Structure 1
Amino acid sequence: MTTDPDNSDFRYPLRWRLMDGAERLLEIVWPRRFGRFTGWLLLLPALLLVGILVLGLWQMAESSLHVLDRNTFLPSEEYTLSNYGTIWQSATYFKVIWRSVQGAVWTVVFTLLLAFPFAYVLVRTPRAWVRKLLLIALFLPFFIGQVVRAYGILIVLGTSGAVNDVFGLIGVGPYRLLFNFPAVVFGLVQYMLPFAVLMLAPALTSIPQETETAASSLGANWLRSMRHVVLPMAKPGIVGASLVVMTLSLTDFAMPAMLGGGSQDFIANAIYDQFFRTADQGLGSALALLLVALGSVLVAVIIGLFGAGTLGMGEKK
């Protein structure tokens, strides 16, 4: 059978008919004269989501100005800054905030130390099977929820877990490896590692391998080439990965709750307690806005010092 449309045996495929019908329907719904507004139409869902977020923040800002009446368990009618004063004067909240910032910073440091070699080998390895194996190891955690991974860490690091079993083979332990700050950081690093690799890999891919060859031909060993050539050129990816990991770690809830055992809460855990345990929406809203402000300040400092990295989408410096 020939595919020439002029041949009498030619049959117009059904999928082509469906596409033509969809095109005619689109012409009726959105005529060509509206073409200059197509971009805004495509942006409408994103703008709607941003609008909902802004509305939620506005309502939280309004709620943060009302104190919970302990007699009626209803917010007071008058506006006040008492909730912010409570946070400012509380040593407990200051400790939680400091722990959150420390956790985010340490998570960034350890995640980058592990993610950079992983991304470098992923990009530079000439063996296809190694690259496929690394890609599987990278994307497999995305198919496992954060809570499931936290439970896995609980099992591995538990008193009767695999790590303590290994210690037992050499005659030491068991050790209490859970429900402390290092356990929370370990869980966050394990969770953030794939995100950092995904941010670093494009930056390393954009670095021509010939630059490393040229550095070697000029007498630089691998360490000096990495320090003076690869790392400076990979700066956008490092900054972008740091921004993503820091913001996600600072606002994380599951890892501190599950691996911290209630003694290593981050700001998100304190917000949850105020909203759902004590029903103090005003104080919870104040903490939530404080978290937004703290994250924004940290991001602004990093961008001000190092630029936006890969999140800048190729903007000119």
Structure 2
Amino acid sequence: MSQENDTKTFRYPLRWRIMDALEAALDVLWPRRLSPYSGWALIMPALLLVGILVLGLFQIAESSLHVLDRSTFMPAEEYTLANYEMVADSATYWRVLWRSLLGAGLTVFFTLLLALPYSYIMVRTPSAAVRKALLVALFLPFFIGQVVRAYGILIVLGTSGAVNDVLGLFGVEPVRLLFNFPAVVFGLVQYMLPFAVLMLAPALTAIPRETETAASSLGANWVRTFWHVVIPMAKPGLVGAGLVVGTLSLTDFAMPAMLGGGSQDFIANAIYDQFFRTADQGLGAALALLLVALGSILVGIVIAVFGAGTLGMGGKK
């Protein structure tokens, strides 16, 4: 009797009705006979985005083969490699290229140097309050745009900023901390640190605590355990974080433009100048393809050295 009453009082939840309606609509739009192709349907948006990117690269490549006609300020009709020859013969662009590579390399080094202990403490701390505080400090920068953060660095490192105010307390004259290469690297490290931590945290979480305990029981102190156990086992995360930080730093525009003061441009700044200041789209396209090729070469070197499986948190394959 009670079972009959429960059946009568049961109400079909609204969310179940919505799911049934969606399932019925899906059966109409995508019949069950097409189920073997569901995987392709799911990746179609990604394939569309990749296709648009490839199409854009082809258009940039075609534009790079046309020089700027100075009489009409329009691209010339004939095809030529003059833009690539101009880049190859220009000491300025080689200097920009070297600055970009050096800045990306230093950013990777200092970012990983700071991100590794931060991630380790965040993952291993037994205190929930400390973990939450570190997570909040990690995610707060994502709510602030890169330009706003660069302006904040301008204020802090300015001649009358907080750093020089502290130095003034010790009798040190104001120091020029902005519009130089170290300021650009500092800004890039500050910007890239959350990305590196987010990639390192899963790699460190995957390391069993028992491994460190076993190393300690065999006589290894904390430094030896961290150097010989934690870092080697966290190599997939380090490689992935370094690759992401390096490519993002190499292609960054805002930090070199704002913290470099126009004298510390990276390749992205040179591309912007050619497209929007001198209106030389052919030369800008040649520089853009150079940047794409450079990034692809770096990724290829990483995959060749560490293996493609490393980027997926696996071993070398």
Instruction: Judge conservation of contact 1:188–1:255 (CA < 8 Å) in 2.
Output: yes
Q: Distance in 2 between matches of 1:63 and 1:140?
A: 41
Matched position secondary structure for 1:120: helix
Say if 2:147 is the partner of 1:147. yes
1:80-124 Cα deviation digits (max 9, x unpaired): 000000000000000000000000000000000000000000111
Q: For residues 177 and 290 of structure 1, what CA distance do their matches in structure 2 show? A: 31
Letter in structure 1 aligned against 2:170: I
Aligned 1:72-91 pairs, distance under 5 A? 72-91=72-91
Counterpart amino acid of residue 94 in structure 2: F
What is aligned with 2:113? 113
1:234 aligns to 2:218 (yes or no): no
Conserved 8 A contact 1:112-1:196: yes
Give the deviation of 1:315 after TM superposition: 6.2
| Compared CA separation, residues 93 and 3, structure 1 to 2 (3 A) | farther
- Return the alpha-carbon distance in structure 1 between the equivalents of residues 181 and 145 of structure 2: 22
Aligned to 1:53: 53
Letter aligned with residue 136 of structure 1: V
Residue 32 of structure 1: aligned partner: 32
1:189-222 per-residue CA deviation (whole Å, 9 max, x = no partner) reads 0000000001111111111111111111111111
Residue 220 of structure 1: aligned partner: 220
Alignment of 1:1-317 (within 5 A): 7-308=7-308, 311-312=311-312, 314=314, 317=317
SS of the equivalent of 1:174 reads: coil
Preserved CA contact (<8 Å) 2:310 2:316: no
The 1:310–1:121 alpha-carbon spacing in structure 2 relative to 1, beyond 3 Å, is farther
Would you say the 8 A contact 1:236–1:308 is kept in 2? no
- In 1, distance between residues paired with 2:131 and 2:44? 39
* C-alpha distance in structure 2 between counterparts of 1:286 and 1:239, whole Å: 29
The CA distance in 1 between the partners of 2:42 and 2:52, in whole Å, is 17
1:126 counterpart letter in structure 2: P
Q: 1:69 to 1:60 in 2, by over 3 A?
A: same
SS of equivalent residue, structure 1 residue 138: helix
Helix, strand or coil at the partner of 1:252: coil
* 2:278 alignment partner AA: T
Structure 1 unpaired stretches of 5+: none
Q: Judging changes above 3 Å, is the alpha-carbon distance between structure 1 residues 309 and 101 closer, same or farther for their aligned structure 2 residues?
A: farther
Local SS of the residue matching 1:17: helix
Structure 1 pair 265–23 and aligned structure 2 pair: CA distance change class (3 A) = same
Cα distance, 1:308 vs structure 2: 4.1
What is the deviation of 1:309? 6.4
2:64, 2:112 → 1: CA distance? Answer: 36
Q: Which amino acid counterpart does residue 176 of structure 1 have in structure 2? A: R
Task: Name the SS for the 1:8 alignment partner.
Answer: helix
Residues of 1 paired with 2:11 and 2:47: CA distance? 44
- Secondary structure of the residue aligned to 1:7 is helix
Is the contact between residue 240 and residue 308 of structure 1 (CA under 8 Å) also seen in structure 2?
no
Aligned residues: 316
Cα distance in structure 2, aligned partners of 1:70 and 1:44: 43
| CA distance in 1: counterparts of 2:295 and 2:305, whole angstroms | 16
Give the CA deviation at 1:313.
5.1
Tell me, in whole angstroms, the C-alpha distance in 1 between the residues paired with 2:240 and 2:54. 24
Distance in 2 separating the partners of 1:309 and 1:151: 39
Provide, for residues 259-301 of structure 1, a one-character-per-residue CA deviation record: whole Å limited to 9, x for no partner: 0000000000000000000111000000000000011111211
CA contact (8 A) 2:308 2:316 kept: no
Identity of matched residues, %:
77
Q: CA RMSD in A?
A: 1.6
Give the counterpart letter for 1:241 in structure 2.
Answer: A
Distance 1:312 1:131 in 2: 26
Q: Is the 8 A contact 2:155 2:161 kept in 1?
A: yes
Q: Which amino acid is 2:204 matched to?
A: L
Instruction: Label 1:25 to 1:112 Cα distance change in 2 as closer, same or farther (>3 A).
Output: same
Residues 67, 80 of structure 2: 8 Å contact kept: yes
CA distance in 1, matches of 2:121, 2:196: 14
8 Å Cα contact 1:67/1:82 also seen in 2: yes
| TM-score (norm: length of structure 1) | 0.96
What CA deviation, in whole Å up to 9, does each residue of 1:102-155 have, x standing for no partner?
Answer: 000000000000000000001110111000000001111111110110000000
Contact 1:237 1:309 in 2 (8 A): no
Q: Alpha-carbon deviation of 1:316? A: 5.7
